[in-house]
Amino acid sequence: MRYPQLIVFESDGRLAAQLAPLSTLRGWPLREPHRAESVLSLLETDNPSVVVIRCGRDLERELSLLERVSLEAPAACSILVVDQAHPRLYSLGWQLGASFLLSPRQARDHLIDLVDAHLNITR
């Protein structure tokens, strides 16, 4: 039996706070690792997973993590939430295999529904 999990990688906890009610409602664990290795370790279990990466404070670290998630856990859904608009950053997010790439407005309006739709399918 596999159990869905929600992983949020960010520095200030805002996205996690936005998703916390959903994780409580569905009974999915919400994890907030601060190291890339911890994220990848959680994905080794092959549980259905959504990884939300906030991109804007340390671009190299955040995008390197996205690359590794795409390569080492291709079954996981990766959602890159970009802090502000930058055309090259959008391109790079797609190039590195992000499943979804959201602006702050799209994250505010759709992130909860997106995560719910993705993890609910696997229940």
Contact between 35 and other proteins (CB under 8 A)? no
Binding segment for other proteins (CB under 8 A), chosen from 15-23, 32-40, 104-112, is 104-112
Q: How far is CA 74 from CA 15, 20, 26, in A?
A: 22, 25, 24
Contact between 28 and 56 under an 8 Å Cβ cutoff? The reply is no
* Nearest distance from C-beta of residue 121 to other proteins, angstroms: 6
Would you list the DSSP string of 37-66? HHHHHHHTT---EEEEEEESSSHHHHHHHH
* Nearest distance from C-beta of residue 51 to other proteins, angstroms: 14
Those residues with Cβ within 8 angstroms of residue 92's Cβ, 6 or more apart along the chain or in another chain: 63
Under rule CB under 8 A, how many of the chain's residues touch other proteins?
55
Contact between 80 and other proteins (CB under 8 A)? no
List of residues contacting other proteins (CB under 8 A):
1-3, 5, 27, 29, 42, 44-47, 55-61, 63-64, 67, 70-71, 74-75, 77, 82-97, 99-101, 103, 105-106, 109-110, 113-114, 117-118, 121
